[in-house]
Structure 1
């Protein structure tokens, strides 16, 4: 992520909201902080980022194999470029370092317990989430 690209696209204009679904795992932690700082500088006062990343505390071996650093499959698979597997602590810390106040909406804690807060999809629809991913059911996430 390069600041010059944002400047070319937005100039002095400010953004109300940024949606990021499965992007930050393709950056190192330090690159993620820098990218979040760039985003923060282009947000209006009261603006926000709705961000979703794979969850390092989600207890499912198949899932963890798919989202692991470097990915499980061919080099052209999107997961092959994963550089980090975040958990609620690392993603929160990364955004806080960039000047954000973090509100967690959906995550697993260290014991694998799932936490969820209802939210308005009009403020950033995340397909790969508890509520909207077709692979989820009442019995299984």
Structure 2
């Protein structure tokens, strides 16, 4: 009789949010996106079903982000995916852009102080496609600043900072949207 292996669903850089009960929540100190030695101690190649990264990739340079995407690809099962959310460079709000900009808006202890890049849907898509993923845009702004949203299934990972879940974004006015993608390994 074949024993079915439990699915591994992983949140990287979980912070204070626990929007995904039943998922394995990790912090940078225990699982570093660009250091494979931290992955090898916990997982084997092609063992992870899903990875959720909410506002993590902007803390990596483009090159580090690509390295991290390649590493995730190595550890994901076929048909596994990364749901990735980052600040959106095309969101047309000066206050928002000041908060999420590279280096952040002020003190070294501000969460955005370690931002190294602000992605738009083109840069984030290209990075994950270069690593071998097929990318599906879930929520994003285009070059004109127009917001687009495609239906997405929260059972595959909740992104709090989204149009769908962030109370700041309910109603007609977006206040703090994210660029959200699913990057699927085929």
Q: Which interval holds the TM-score relative to the shorter structure?
A: over 0.9
Give the Å deviation of 1:9: 1.1
Give the Å deviation of 1:77: 1.2
Aligned to 2:183: none
- The equivalent position to 1:123 in structure 2, one of 123, 148, 156, is 156
- The equivalent position to 2:71 in structure 1, one of 38, 60, 66, is 38
Q: Deviations over 1:82-138 (max 9, x none)?
A: 000000000000101111110000000000011101111110100000010010122
Could you tell me whether the CA contact under 8 Å between 2:66 and 2:131 is conserved in 1? yes
C-alpha separation between the residues in 1 aligned to 2:82 and 2:100?
Answer: 22
Q: Classify 1:10/1:64 alpha carbon distance in 2 versus 1 (closer, same or farther; 3 Å).
A: same
Aligned to 2:29: none
Aligned to 1:75: 108
Aligned to 1:52: 85
Aligned to 1:8: 41
For these two proteins, the number of residue pairs brought into alignment is 141
Question: Normalised by the size of structure 1, how large is the TM-score?
Answer: 0.97
- The equivalent position to 2:167 in structure 1, one of 126, 131, 134, is 134
Could you tell me whether the CA contact under 8 Å between 2:45 and 2:76 is conserved in 1? no
Q: Classify 1:31/1:130 alpha carbon distance in 2 versus 1 (closer, same or farther; 3 Å).
A: same
Q: Classify 1:56/1:12 alpha carbon distance in 2 versus 1 (closer, same or farther; 3 Å).
A: closer
C-alpha separation between the residues in 2 aligned to 1:13 and 1:50?
Answer: 17
Aligned to 2:142: 109
Give the Å deviation of 1:60: 0.6
Give the Å deviation of 1:11: 3.1
Point out the structure with the larger helix share: 1
Point out the structure with the larger strand share: 2
Structure 2 runs not aligned, ≥5 long: 1-33, 175-186
Question: Normalised by the size of structure 2, how large is the TM-score?
Answer: 0.74
